[in-house]
Each structure stands twice: as structure tokens, then as C-alpha cells.
Chain A
Amino acid sequence: MNTLTRNVECEHTEHGPARGLSRWFFTTNHKDIGTLYLWFSFLMFLTGGCMALMIRAELFQPGLQLIQPDFFNQMTTMHGLIMVFGAVMPAFVGLANWMLPLMVGAPDMALPRMNNWSFWILPFAFAMMISTLFMEGGGPNFGWTFYAPLSTTYAPPSVTFFIFAVHMMGISSIMGAINVIATILNMRAPGMTMMKLPLFVWTWLITAFLLIAVMPVLAGVVTMMLMDIHFGTSFFNAAGGGDPVLFQHIFWFFGHPEVYIMILPAFGIVSEIIPTFARKRLFGYASMVYATASIAFLSFIVWAHHMFTVGLPLMGEIFFMFATMLIAVPTGVKVFNWIATMFRGSMTFETPMLFSLAFVVLFTIGGFSGLMLAIAPADFQYHDTYFVVAHFHYVLVPGAVFAIMAGVYYWLPKWTGNYYNETLGKWHFWCSFIGVNLTFFPMHFIGLAGMPRRIPDYALQFADFNMVASIGAFIFGFSQLIFLVLVIKTIRGGDRAPAQVWDQPQGLEWTVPSPAPYHTFAEPPEVK
């Protein structure tokens, strides 16, 4: 072993990638697995995107034109499930796989075989979930939040397959998260103390903790559904002493931390990129770490802000309202730090930076609308309207998805050894930016005006804004093809990137050559 681990630069070939397809099926290499996750996530992004476009096409005009209401409901359900569990989460795991070992100076993830298993469960799980669309009675049509009794008493038979698919996704996520935690806690190079960890690593550490804490709760709630549907229990049936609201409590105990699972790694990515392109150190590193930890803690005690209108006791409404508002404090700390990092920096605006800047601005808009929703009496008005749809799409699309894009642009030269085409990247950014805002900004207004969500038809007064939103959605959707072309072109060639890629970026990942060799840090680097 020793002889072939001497130096990353004179890598031995006997440990290079295997030839052919078997490389991807049997690999234990964190870079291969990261690549698999990222491509899978992109495929799911396009699949879920097509469903969104079907929704938006139907909503282009009032009235029913293209699809039946029940199919419309299946589309909203599948779109949400695929984007959350198939696109955003796997993309972050893919980035973690690629970058965490490089950032902490580890030879690979802590448990490489389990790492492969975490990935390969996913295609099967999603094949099973998507296949429900073709089953008798149609696919799940009860929304991505699958509230009982819609998802129990009134569910199509395919719900059983949905339940098992969710179980598989949960197994995959938990194993992935265990791997991340073990890697960060145990595989750091000597001298890489906790408070020297790059923020992407920190945010992933906390995300992994959240995943391990709440994915089992999701498994629990779908198991209760299964038992209610097929084995006569009455968890969510008041006739037997249970309570449909119990479903919502358990679901959102999972669900709220879940939305932070989808944003904390995004915070990490942006905190890597902004200092590089502002050419300044990150402002307030320690406060970033503590803010992330506080957000994670708070995310466990705010879940009922999704349930203000179900008839909670008054004390409950008040507690969850104030606890939710508290989250704005650490979130504000983060936004402040990003802006302070840029203050008087020598900024340049390459594509990763553009996406990061858009992230900061647009995510903040989503945070503010969240704050509006957190006001319990006001939420009685907003709940289940398009205002909520606008809120969570602002935090998830120009939030999580833009951060993922930013991360891909930022590290693509490290992965492929080539620079991407900056002109194409800018085109991709501006089309996405315009598309996203056209799609989701009008939703604030139609929501406030009272248009309910998850409805295939609407009253005439909402027509104009809906048309704008649909046009925006198609712009956003098709501009992702620019991204696809760009990535393929970059893999095939382009200007050669040096090890540092950008102007003096910080972090161990920039000390290995570009493209990063198949095996890196077989001997741990010294971190001073």
C-alpha cells in the first residue's frame, strides 16, 4: 500500500477506475459515486420539471384544457416528491460525496461500500414510485405532504407502492447521512480541527444529523399509514380514537427539518463561493457555524407552523408562531455575513458568483414571505393559497437549486479539469433568473388575492398572473437544457484548469490537481 500512496501526483494506474459499465455499478470511489448522484439528480430534476410544466400548461388559462383534475393532482404530488427526494437531496449528497473527502483531506468516504449502496437504492426506489402512475387507479394524488385521510381512506391502491418507495429512500438517506457524519468526524486530516472545517463541511455535518433524526420519523408515519390502510389500525381515524391531525404532527416533525435539510448545504456552498469571488475571507466564520447549529435546533420546535389552521390550542399557536419567528434571527446573521463578506471586496461576477448572489437576494425574499406566514393570524388567510407556493419555491428554487448550480459551476473545473464556457454559463444564469422570477413572483399576488393551491382551474381574475407564471416556467424549464449542453461540453473539453482554478480560493480541494485524480489524499495532508 505504502508505495502506491506516496504521492497523489504520481498516481498508480492499477487503482484507477475500472473499465466499462461495471465501474459505475460496483464502484466504491467517492468521486464516481458523487458523479452518479449528480447525474441521477439531474435526471430527476428534468422528470419533475416536465411534470411542473404539465401543471403550468394546464394553468396557463382558466378552465380545464389539457389534463383531468385527478391527473393534475397526481402531477402536483409526483412533482413535489421527485423534486424533494429525487432532485434536491441527491444533488447535495452528490456534492458531499465529491467534495467532503477533498475538503477534509480524507482518502474517501468513511464507509465506501455502504456509500455505493446508498446511491443504488435510489434508482430502484424512484422507478417504483414513478411506476405508480401507470397502476390501476393512478398514482398518489394526495399532495407531496400526503395528509391522512386523503392518503389512507381515500387513497388509490398504488399508495402501498408509494409507502415502500418512501421506505427505500429513507434507508438510502440514513445510510448516506451516517457516512457523511463518520467521514467528517473521523476522517479529517491531522490539524483539520472542527473550527477550521470549511462551511460546506459544517453545514453538511449538521444536515446529516437532521437526516438521521427525522428520516426514521418519516418511516414511522408511512408505516402507520400502511397499518391504517391494510391492517385495521386507527392512528389517523377518530372513529377508533386516533386523529387525522396526528398525521400532520408526525409528518411535519419530519417535514420542517426536511426543508432545512434542503437549505443548510446550500448555505454552505454559498459560503464557499462568495469569499472566493469577493477575494476576502468569509465574514464571521464562527457565527456562521453557530447560526447553522441554532437553525438546526430550532427546526425541531417549529413544525406546527404548517398547521395553524387545523385548530391547535391557542397556546400552541402562540408558541409555534414565536418559535418560528426566532429562526429569522440566525438566518439574518447568515445573510448579514454574506453581505459583509462582499463589502469592499474586489468582486468579479463569474457564473458561480452570479448564482450565489441571486441566491442571497431571492432566498431572502423567501425568508421574508416565510416570516409573513409565521404570523399565525395572518396565516389563516394565506394558508393553502399560492402565497405559500410562492414562499417555498423562492426558498427552494432560487434558494436550494441555485446554490446547487452555483456549486456545480464552482467545482466543475476541479472535477473535469476544464473550464466551462463562461458565455453559456451567463446565458444559463440570466434565463434561469428571469424565468424563476416570472414564475414565482406573481404567485405572491394571486395567493394574497385568494387563489387556492393544488387546483387545476381558477377564477377569471387570476388569469393574467397565471399566464405570466406559466410563461416564466417554460423559460426556466428550457434554460436548463443550456446547462445540460454546457456540462457535456465541459466534460469533453475546454480551457485546461490549473489546480487552483479560481483566484486563490481557500481549501484543500484546490491543492490537488484538476481534474482531481481518481484517488486523493491516500496519505493525509498536513493542515496548519
Chain B
Amino acid sequence: MSQSAYYVPAQSRWPIYASVALFLMAYGAAHLINGLADQGGGLGLSLLLAGTFCMAMILIGWFGNVISESRGGLYNAQMDRSFRWGMSWFIFSEIMFFAAFFGALFYVRTLAVPWLGGEGEKGVSQLLWPGFEAQWPLLTTPDMKQFPGSDGVINPWHLPLLNTAILVTSSFTLTFAHHALKLDNRPRTILWLGTTILLGVVFLLFQLSEYVEAYQELGLTLNSGIYGATFFMLTGFHGLHVTLGTLMLIIIWLRVLSGHFSPKHHFGFEATAWYWHFVDVVWIGLFIFVYVF
């Protein structure tokens, strides 16, 4: 195998299988959601589960191929750069996904809600909802029958602050793990990576208990109006990303255990670390703009 040639894989069955699985997932999800109202989503649920299961198997197989090719020395430095570009641009696309939701939050806070409250002399709310007053967080919505508002919001200085500390710490522990990996110190890598995973799990548990508090004690729900909508969608998508990141870390942890990485070659580790730091940065944005201000 010459180091100079770029590895172009031969045919592969994974992509088209993955397309079928994705289709099952999407079709199943749509069917399930449409059936929610009239309890008729059974078929959708089975399709969704089947698709998800297939997708998981396919990804394991596909990444398995990549890992064995990489360990077989088929990838040269140029291939490594392709992966780096690929992962970087993927993270950029994720940033833009969050940007859409942050943009929505800023728009309603600075424009839509004040306008509803009568600012800018647009006269809309005066006609439709006389007496509506703009405030943020929006506890009282224009139409309290349809969107019942909430009794309060999460106190940023309790769990959210703790969660901030946890995620920031986890970025550090992950960096310690990376340094240990570069020094070829496997036990320490395993230790620090394990700590990072634990912190991720604790974060998720705290986040869950916060949702329980929001729903049960504060009456803050998806249906509360625009505050609840932006709050749950932003923190919810972030939570999903932490979940995915934690899963990725667990896989990397298992790969470290079986000695897949060398001090020089460990892009799988690095890609996951990039992803984790990205999730961390998004949280800081959330903490500031969703919880504190």
C-alpha cells in the first residue's frame, strides 16, 4: 500500500441501506405524529422503531468498515484532512441549525412581543388582544385560553448554573484525556474520558429533573406560549446533542479500551472532542440568553 494514493473505496452497500432506513424513520415518524391525535400511530411507531434499529446497525457496520480500513493503514494524510474538513463543516451546519432557533428567540423578544404590546404603533394587539402587556419572560400570553402561559421560569442560579459548571468542567476533563492520549498514557485517557462521560450523564439527568420541575411546578410547557416554545426547543435540541455527544464519547471510550488509538492517529477521538466542545459552547449561549437574560 503506497502512502501517496488516496483511498477510494470500492462499492459499498451501506449508503443505500441507510437511505432505506432513513426513509422508514421519516415515514414512520410522520405517520406516528399524524396518528397521535386519534391514537392511530401504531404502524408509524413500528416503522420508526424498525428504521431506527436498522439505522443503528448500518452505522455500526459502516463505521466498522471505516475503522478497520483506517487501522489497516489504507488512509493517508490527505484522507485525514478530508475527514477533518468534513467534520468541521458538519459542525458549522449544526451551528446554523441552532442559529435559526436563537434567531427566533431574539426576534420575538426584541420585536414581535413588544409589537404585540403596542410598541411601534402597529395597532395589532390593541384590536385583537386589548390590555395585553409585553414582558419577557412572557408569562401571560395574548390568548391565555389557547396558550395558558406559566407561573414562573427556571431560576438560572440553581440547576442551570450547576449544569454550566458541569459542562465546562467536562470540556476540561476531555482535554486532559486528549493530552493523556497524546502521551500514550492509556489508563489516564480512560479515566478522564470516563469522567467526561459521567459529567455528560449527570448533566442530562439534571436537565431532565429541570423539565419535570418546569412541567409540574411552574406550568411551563411547550404549550405555554412563545417563552415555553423557545425555552424547550433550544434546551431540548441542545439536550439531544448532548445525548448524541455522550453516545459518541462512550463509543470512543470503548475504542480506547480496545486500543484503537495511537498518539499520532486518533481522529475519531478528536472529532468527538470537537463535537463536545461545540455542544459546550452552545450551552454557554443558552445559559446567557435563555436562562439569565
Contacts and interface: CB of A to CB of B under 8 A. Distances in A.
A151 to B, nearest CB: 15
| Secondary structure dominating the interface of B | helix
Interface in B100-127: 100-101, 103-104, 107-108, 111-113, 115-116, 120, 122, 124-125
A187 B11 contact: no
Contacts of A259: none
A242 B226 contact: yes
A351 to B, nearest CB: 33
Given A112-B8, A241-B138, A246 B104 contact: yes
Interface string B1-41: 11001101111111110111011001101100110110000
B229 A163 contact: no
Contacts of A216: 93-94, 96-97, 99-100
Band of interface residues on A? 35 or more
Interface string B207-238: 00000000000000111111111101100000
Contacts of B147: 232, 234, 237, 239-241
A93 to B, nearest CB: 15
B11 A26 contact: yes
A125 B233 CA distance: 25
B85 interface: yes
B225 to A, nearest CB: 4
Contacts of B22: 121, 124, 168, 171
Contacts of A226: 33
A164 B26 contact: yes
Contact of B226 (A27, A111, A121, A235): A235
B116 A241 contact: yes
B13 A26 contact: yes
A492 B169 CA distance: 64
A231 interface: yes
B278 to A, nearest CB: 13
Nearest to B74: A1
B172 interface: no
Given A164-B27, A187-B6, A213-B92, A250 B104 contact: yes
B97 A220 contact: yes
Contacts of B226: 234-235, 240-242
Nearest to A4: B5
B93 A242 contact: no
A243 B107 contact: yes
Contacts of B265: none
Contacts of B157: none
A239 B142 contact: yes
A241 B15 contact: no
B274 interface: no
B112 A241 contact: yes
Residue among A114, A226, A239 with the highest chain B CB neighbour number at 10 A:
A239
Contact of A182 (B19, B26, B27, B82): B82
A253 interface: yes
Given A113-B14, A230-B33, A238-B124, A182 B112 contact: no
B289 interface: no
B175 to A, nearest CB: 26
Contacts of B107: 243, 246, 249
Contacts of A113: 9, 12, 14-15, 62
B258 interface: no
A107 interface: yes
A113 to B, nearest CB: 5
A181 interface: yes
Contacts of A301: none
Interface residues of B, number: 75
B19 A121 contact: yes
A232 B142 contact: no
A174 B95 CA distance: 13
Contacts of A250: 100, 103-104
B151 interface: no
Nearest to A128: B27
A76 interface: no
B221 A243 contact: no
Nearest to B13: A26
B142 to A, nearest CB: 5
A243 B138 CA distance: 14
A28 interface: yes
B134 to A, nearest CB: 9
Contact of A1 (B2, B143, B224): B2
A238 B19 contact: no
A18 interface: yes
Nearest to B117: A241
Interface string A503-528: 00000000000000001001100000
B74 to A, nearest CB: 9
A110 B82 contact: yes
B141 interface: yes
A506 to B, nearest CB: 25
Interface string A216-230: 110111011011001
28 contacts: A28-B9, A108-B8, A117-B19, A161-B27, A165-B26, A168-B22, A178-B86, A178-B89, A178-B93, A182-B82, A185-B85, A212-B96, A213-B92, A224-B104, A234-B146, A234-B147, A237-B146, A238-B128, A238-B142, A239-B146, A240-B146, A240-B147, A240-B226, A241-B112, A242-B229, A243-B107, A243-B112, A250-B103
Interface of A: 1-2, 5, 15, 18, 22-23, 25-28, 106-108, 110-114, 116-117, 120-121, 123-125, 127-128, 157, 160-161, 163-165, 167-168, 171, 174, 177-179, 181-182, 185-187, 212-217, 219-221, 223-224, 226-227, 230-235, 237-243, 245-246, 249-250, 253, 311, 313, 519, 522-523
Given A121-B22, A313-B120, 14 more contacts: A26-B15, A28-B12, A110-B82, A111-B82, A113-B62, A124-B26, A125-B23, A178-B93, A186-B82, A212-B96, A233-B229, A242-B225, A250-B104, A522-B5
